[in-house]
Amino acid sequence: MKKILTLVCVSALGGLLTLGGYKLFVEKEHTQIAKNEKTQLPVYVPTSTSNTLLTNTERPDLITAANKTIDAVVHVKNTQINRRPQTWGDIFSNRQIERKQLAGAGSGVIISPDGHIITNNHVIKGAVEISITLNDNKTYLAELVGTDAKNDIALLKIHTEDILPFVTFGDSDATQIGEWVLAVGNPFNLTSTVTAGIISAKSRDLSGGQSFIQTDAAVNPGNSGGALVNINGELVGINTAISSQTGTYVGYSFALPSNIARKIVEDIMEFGDVQNGILGVTGLALNSEAAEELKVDITEGFYVSGIEEKSGADLAGISEGDIIRKLDNVEINKFSDLSGYLKTKSPNDVVNVEVLRGNNIKNISVTLTNKEDLYVEFMDMQLRDIPLKAKQKYPELQKGVMISQNRNPYFYNKVGLREGYVITAINDIKVESIEDINALKAKYNDEDFFKSLNKLEFLDGSLEKKEILFR
């Protein structure tokens, strides 16, 4: 019995010693570790648990838009005259045989029930015959009503007693980035093709002053001149170009906004050509680098560095150093915003210009000037009279026409004509003002004049007299 009691007491004592050691050493260590863990706060990553799948009622109704559009988009074929020898006898006798040949094809959009069709100028350029095939396979010869090569738009007309399906114009200014759109056309001669995408950017400038809608709807050769429509089936753009190193679609396509296209078409119908209303300002779009150089605090807007004499901006009181922030309700963040909106306007239209002058916002009403009153387009150059300020500053600059834009690659790269140079004579004919250029335009078209060009005299940027002989 004593042995049993002794064993129990020893066991109890061992248990007490073990428990005491645990409390003293092990639990204390664990408690310290727990304290260290509390000093490291947990990291939470924001996560949405909502269902992002659209219901059937929320999905865009692309079927309705396609049905409204597909019958109003046509296949445009460009037939040209091919002149070349057909036999060995033709080669030896240097005979050129004329033969009609299909030169290209694209798309077009019927915009009126009586058969007016809008397409790209490059689709029908050089054509001696333009044929239109409707979605029901009926074919017509089209009349060329007019073109605007600068904006790559052409207006055609087919004559039929049928009332044709057509697409109504939408408001391209109201489109938004992320909005669903359809591109309808005839890529690779695959007629009546519909592709879908979203608007991925607006006011995209591809070639100096242009303003395109950028989409990711697939567009390929043959889509040019086709329709870009919103989910209501309204025309918001004319598909015009792709950005590609291969010549086929790689993810980006570009459409001329419908507001610009509609204005061009209305001008061609009413006047026979495009009437351009301009503010009459020169300058640059702001960014961080330009803002730092100009010592201004904002990085968006159009900085006015010059005012054209007798222009609407000049008469309304816009000043050098003003920063244009808005035209009417359209925000101006870059040059293509400015130029794109003005292309929807006509001479004598009044626009409200919001400018930042110093630290003050001013709203100025400007009556747009007819571009032809200030500039003349000739040989892919934009020419103007020498500004009064330049005449006052430099006695040498009293007669001639100043180059404000040069889009002629030959004159720019080979001859070296730059903006600001002054043309003083052409083929030994003195040039004193744009009236002399208008006289040349009335006598020659650009192609005939270029063939007859043999001598050009001008003043370069250092006012040094230069002479170029072409023969």
Catalytic residue (one of 172, 203, 224, 339): 224
- Among the listed residues 71, 112, 114, 122, the single catalytic one is 122
152 is known as an active-site residue: yes
| Residue 108 backbone dihedrals phi, psi, to 5 degrees | -150, 165
Which is catalytic among the residues 148, 152, 385, 436?
A: 152
Cα separation, 324 vs 11, in Å, equals 94
d(C-alpha 366, C-alpha 317), whole Å: 9
- How far apart, in whole angstroms, are the C-alpha atoms of residue 236 and residue 260? 10
224 is catalytic: yes
Backbone dihedral angles phi then psi of residue 427, each to the nearest 5 degrees: 50, 40
115 by DSSP, 3-state: which? coil
The answer to whether residue 159 is catalytic is: no
Residues 6+ apart with CB under 8 A from 361: 325, 354, 355
Sorted by sequence, the CB contacts under 8 Å of residue 153 that are 6+ apart come out as: 118, 119, 120, 121, 147, 238, 256, 261, 264, 265
Contacts of 69 (CB under 8 A, 6+ apart): 167, 182, 184, 194, 227, 229, 233
Strand partners, 422: 402, 459
Q: How far is CA 325 from CA 38, 195, 224, 336, 354, in A?
A: 53, 36, 33, 13, 6
The catalytic residues are 122, 152, 224
